[in-house]
Structure 1
């Protein structure tokens, strides 16, 4: 269990040209940007691109293919993969960075990293909320 075993989760924002990578802390509470995939990883949280209406598109197929290739590498065998809806990730990140005067070429690179952080943090928040609810439930019964 990633939440109890001190193992980290990776967040991935799979783009057309770039890959945004984020990593959780050992307690799986906070996500941050990362350049490299580190050891002691329990699994991946992959941003899943669907339209506002919930429909799949070409990028959804590309992400599926990427994850399929990732799963077939020995280095990532046996890890857990989870999907996170990334419908509004780009808008959230753009809103965060809009007041900074950042070169557009650099902005795209930064946006990919922060998108991965946003994807992973959304999953971590949900997992920790569920863990608290389960703990509360167990104390009641």
Structure 2
């Protein structure tokens, strides 16, 4: 996996021609689960996808899951939620960094570009939205993780899609 700055990842998407157009995968990395969201082919709208169980001792299995998703959705990169980009020593931020480092060590995702995006309160926002639904705990956690990933990815997409200077000329 290769880290790229958020702007550079979006510019790379814009440079692709219509046949190579790739989508983005949003990741909300937690201690036990990784919530996933995927963009539409035009990279305008994020939709919930699924939740992966985080297998800390079997990271190669997670890498294989990501390989399948890359193939299935023609993914061009990952947008990884990062707890407050200004507080790098935050324990949750360290956990995200360790997760990405472990994925990189598998060697299975060499061509994948990724960037970090501030996830500021995405999980809390989703929690407040779904609380009135009174979902069973397991379903609630799954919904929360998927929609936190949607919030991360949609925040990224909205930020760069609103920048007219990035439009191809």
Shorter-chain TM-score category?
0.7 to 0.9
* Partners of 2:94 and 2:148 in 1: CA distance: 19
Corresponding residue for residue 84 of structure 1: 117
Matched, 1:2 2:24: no
* Partners of 1:44 and 1:69 in 2: CA distance: 15
* Partners of 1:38 and 1:55 in 2: CA distance: 28
Residue pairs, 1:1-141, within 5 angstroms: 1-3=12-14, 5=16, 6-35=21-50, 37-39=69-71, 40-50=74-84, 54=87, 56-130=89-163, 132-135=164-167
TM-score of the superposed pair, with normalisation by structure 2: 0.70
Secondary structure of the residue aligned to 2:76 is strand
TM-score of the superposed pair, with normalisation by structure 1: 0.83
Describe the superposition over 1:92-136 as per-residue Cα deviations: whole angstroms up to 9, x where unpaired. 112221221211221011100000010000001112112x23349
Give how far 1:55 is off: 5.3
Describe the superposition over 1:14-63 as per-residue Cα deviations: whole angstroms up to 9, x where unpaired. 00111101111111111111136232211110010239x83532221121
Contact 1:13/1:115 (CA < 8 Å) preserved in 2?
Answer: yes
Identify unmatched segments of 5+ residues in structure 2: 1-11, 51-64
* Partners of 2:122 and 2:90 in 1: CA distance: 17
What is the number of residues matched between the two proteins? 135
Identify unmatched segments of 5+ residues in structure 1: none
Contact 1:2/1:42 (CA < 8 Å) preserved in 2?
Answer: yes
Contact 1:3/1:27 (CA < 8 Å) preserved in 2?
Answer: no
Q: CA RMSD in A?
A: 2.2
